[in-house]
Every structure is written in structure tokens, then in C-alpha cells.
């Protein structure tokens, strides 16, 4: 097998540091490369936090980068990779920091995004580009790298290894005779978050209507834990708050065992889809066709068109692909009834 008239690679370095959702999308990329190039060593330069979810992925050598460490982190990464040279580097992150850091990686072929998507010095870190693909989902953009290397078949295998203890942690939270619904309310950006009031109203409705066990989850930061605590306090029915009490792998197990997940544009949204659990996505600040659930787009509450009109006075077709509407009030365009309709539709279909 050849790759654009090049020899079959024996070493491939993937450069994608973050975020959690994007790291989840990378798993099928890894599986596809391993299927087509079974003898190639795959190395993945990944963020320290993201590695906590992906560690143990079969056949992958991880090199972690601590973004919070600044220049010291860059120095440490250079030391880790100083003696390695790769046949191929897939530079799959567009930030200035990523483009700067990836330049220290030695590789014959340095493949990155097309000029339309490339930004912040991306062209200085690469010597080849994948072709432009109009209006694509983030995952499809990632899979382009495998296709550029000559991979004709996509291996859409999302399996991330977890331990028996991780699985048991989740199992102990699940009530077998109830609908177990996970609400993961926090995005990495505050302006992508729905309000405490609406989350609590939705949680009350889920308990009153379905007798559901509602489990609230979030990251370990004080900010996220306080947000979830406010939802719990505002709810009239009992909810289970495990914010900050689980690891990423334990969360993955919980999402897999849940009946339904509700989340804004966030890592858990994509983690849920990767384990086959239906997820109601709450999106108004970004286009779900680009960054929403890949597996369950039909369950997305999509208010992005309304947000584009409200903040730009333009239709979705008139704004540049990838434009965010991260403004105060954007997520308020999503009503509690909008979310109820998606949930009712799902449970009516899956009685």
C-alpha cells in the first residue's frame, strides 16, 4: 500500500492535545491507522488531562504535554521527543501554541489542514496539506488525515479501555428499575452553558414524569462543582450529585450505563455518543453540524440559526462556517419545553 506515492509509514505521530470531545473523536482515527498500517508505531502527543481518559489505548505510545506548565512544558516535551524521528506527523490542532510546539517534532512528512482551515501559523509547522472539505463535522475533518494517507476504509471503533473498578463505580450509581438520566451541564465555556433555573426545572420534570434517577456530573473545578450544587439546591426533587467525585474513565462507564444523557457542547456530549448512549445536545452557541453529537444529531436542540439571526442578523448560510455565537443570552434561546420535546420523542420511540 502506498500513500500519495510515498512509502508505507513505519512511524506516525499524531498531534492533538485537546479537548476531551476532540480526543474522543481521535479514537477512530487511531483505529483506522492501525488497521491500514498494522506495523506502524503510533505515537500520540496529547494533553495531560485528556490522557487520563485515553491512557491504555492499545498500540499507542502516549507523550503527554502539560499545557499549564508554559515554557517548561514545551521544554519537557522537546526532551521527551528529542531522540525520535517519525515518517509522518499529523498536525491536527490549529492553535498558535500547538503550531509552535509541533515544530519541535522531527518528521519527514508534516501533514496539516488546508489553507482555509489553517490559522495561527499553521503553515509554518507543516509541509503538506489535506484538501479542503466544505462544511464538515470536526470528526470528518480528522478522518481526512487518514484518507490523505491512503486509508480507504474507516474503522469507527470508539473503544476506550476502562478497569473493572471504573465499571463498578458506575454500576453502583445505576438504579436498574428506573430511567437513569445523566445531566452533564458544564461546557468549557460559560457562554455555552444553559441556566441553573432551566436545568433544575428539567430535572424536576424528569423525576415527576418518568420517575427518573437524575445524576448530575461535572469536573473537579470549584466553578463546575458550585454550578452543579446550585442546580441540586434549586431542584424540588432528589437528584444525585457526583460532581468532582468521578474520574474521566468512571464517567465514561457511567455514560455507557445511562439510558439518556443531556449536555451542552462539551466533552461528555461526545463521550456519551462514543459509547452508544443517546444524548440530547443543547446547542445555540455553535453549529451542531460541525461540533454536535456525531452519533445522535437528531436529538440535538438546535438554536444556532436563531442565535445567528439575533447576534449577526444573518442566516446560518450567511455566516462563515465554524462561527461561534458565544454571547450572553445565546443559550437562553433554548427553552425547557424544547428539551422536553426531544426527550419525549426519544422515550416514545424507545419504550
As a whole number of Å, the end-to-end CA separation of the chain is 48
What is residue 336's predicted lDDT score, i.e. its pLDDT?
99
What span, in angstroms and rounded, lies between the C-alpha atoms of 169 and 167? 5
What span, in angstroms and rounded, lies between the C-alpha atoms of 335 and 303? 10
Please check whether residue 327 is in contact with residue 244, taking contact to mean a CB–CB distance below 8 angstroms. no
What is residue 6's predicted lDDT score, i.e. its pLDDT?
78
What is residue 5's predicted lDDT score, i.e. its pLDDT?
60
Distances in whole angstroms, Cα of residue 236 to Cα of each of 135, 230, 287: 43, 12, 33
Bridge partners, residue 66, by sequence: none
What span, in angstroms and rounded, lies between the C-alpha atoms of 165 and 163? 5
Q: What is the pLDDT along the chain (351 residues), one digit of tens a residue?
A: 445 567 899 999 999 999 999 999 999 999 999 999 999 999 999 999 999 999 999 999 999 999 888 889 888 998 999 889 999 999 999 888 889 899 999 999 999 999 888 887 899 899 999 999 999 999 999 999 999 999 999 999 999 999 999 999 999 999 999 999 999 999 999 999 999 999 999 999 999 999 999 999 999 999 999 999 999 999 999 999 999 999 999 999 999 999 999 999 999 999 999 999 999 999 999 999 999 999 999 999 999 999 999 999 999 999 999 999 999 999 999 999 999 999 999 999 987
Query: Which CB contacts under 8 angstroms, 24+ apart, belong to 165-173?
Result: 166/247, 166/249, 166/250, 166/252, 166/253, 167/253, 169/246, 169/250, 169/253, 169/254, 170/250, 170/253, 170/254, 170/256, 170/257, 171/253, 171/257, 173/215, 173/240, 173/242, 173/254
Structural domains in the chain plus CATH codes: 11-148 (3.40.50.2000), 165-349 (3.40.50.2000)
Range list of H helices, the chain: 20-36, 48-54, 71-81, 96-102, 138-148, 164-171, 196-210, 222-234, 248-257, 267-274, 288-291, 304-312, 336-349
Quote the percentage of the chain above a pLDDT of 70. Answer: 99
> What cell was used for 220?
473537579
What is residue 120's predicted lDDT score, i.e. its pLDDT?
79
What is residue 3's predicted lDDT score, i.e. its pLDDT?
53
Q: Would you call 346 exposed, middle or buried from its count of C-beta atoms within 10 A (0-12, 13-18, 19+)?
A: middle
Amino acid at each position: 500500500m502506498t500513500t500519495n506515492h510515498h512509502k508505507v509509514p513505519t512511524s506516525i505521530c499524531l498531534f492533538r492535545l485537546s479537548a476531551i470531545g476532540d480526543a474522543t473523536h481521535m479514537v477512530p482515527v487511531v483505529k483506522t491507522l492501525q488497521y491500514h498500517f498494522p506495523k506502524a508505531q503510533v505515537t500520540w502527543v496529547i494533553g495531560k488531562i485528556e490522557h487520563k481518559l485515553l491512557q491504555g489505548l492499545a498500540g499507542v505510545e502516549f507523550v503527554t504535554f502539560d499545557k499549564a506548565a508554559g515554557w517548561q512544558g514545551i521544554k519537557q516535551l522537546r526532551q521527551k521527543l528529542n531522540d525520535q524521528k517519525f515518517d509522518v506527523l499529523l498536525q491536527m490542532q490549529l492553535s498558535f501554541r500547538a503550531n509552535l510546539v509541533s515544530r519541535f517534532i522531527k518528521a519527514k512528512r508534516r501533514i496539516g489542514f488546508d489553507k482555509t482551515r489553517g490559522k495561527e501559523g499553521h503553515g509554518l509547522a507543516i509541509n503538506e496539506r489535506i484538501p479542503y472539505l466544505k462544511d464538515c463535522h470536526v470528526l470528518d475533518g480528522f478522518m481526512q488525515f487518514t484518507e490523505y494517507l491512503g486509508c480507504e476504509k474507516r474503522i469507527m471503533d470508539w473503544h476506550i479501555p476502562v478497569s473493572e473498578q471504573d465499571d463498578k463505580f458506575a454500576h453502583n450509581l445505576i438504579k436498574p428499575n428506573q430511567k437513569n438520566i445523566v445531566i452533564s451541564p458544564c461546557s468549557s465555556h460559560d457562554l455555552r452553558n444553559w441556566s441553573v433555573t432551566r436545568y433544575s426545572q428539567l430535572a424536576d420534570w424528569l423525576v415527576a414524569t418518568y420517575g427518573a434517577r437524575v445524576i448530575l456530573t461535572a469536573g473537579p473545578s470549584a466553578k463546575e462543582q458550585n454550578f452543579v450544587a446550585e442546580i441540586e439546591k434549586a431542584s424540588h426533587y432528589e437528584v444525585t450529585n457526583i460532581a468532582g467525585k468521578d474520574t474521566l474513565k468512571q464517567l465514561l462507564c457511567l455514560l455507557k450505563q445511562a439510558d439518556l444523557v443531556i449536555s451542552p457542547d462539551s466533552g461528555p456530549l461526545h463521550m456519551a455518543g462514543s459509547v452508544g448512549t443517546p444524548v440530547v445536545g443543547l446547542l445555540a452557541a455553535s453549529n451542531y453540524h460541525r461540533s454536535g453529537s456525531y452519533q445522535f444529531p437528531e436529538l440535538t436542540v438546535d438554536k444556532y440559526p436563531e442565535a445567528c439571526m439575533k447576534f449577526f442578523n444573518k442566516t446560518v448560510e450567511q455566516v462563515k462556517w465554524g462561527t461561534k455565537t458565544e454571547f450572553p443570552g445565546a443559550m437562553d434561546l433554548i427553552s425547557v419545553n424544547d428539551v422536553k420535546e426531544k426527550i419525549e420523542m426519544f422515550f416514545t420511540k424507545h419504550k
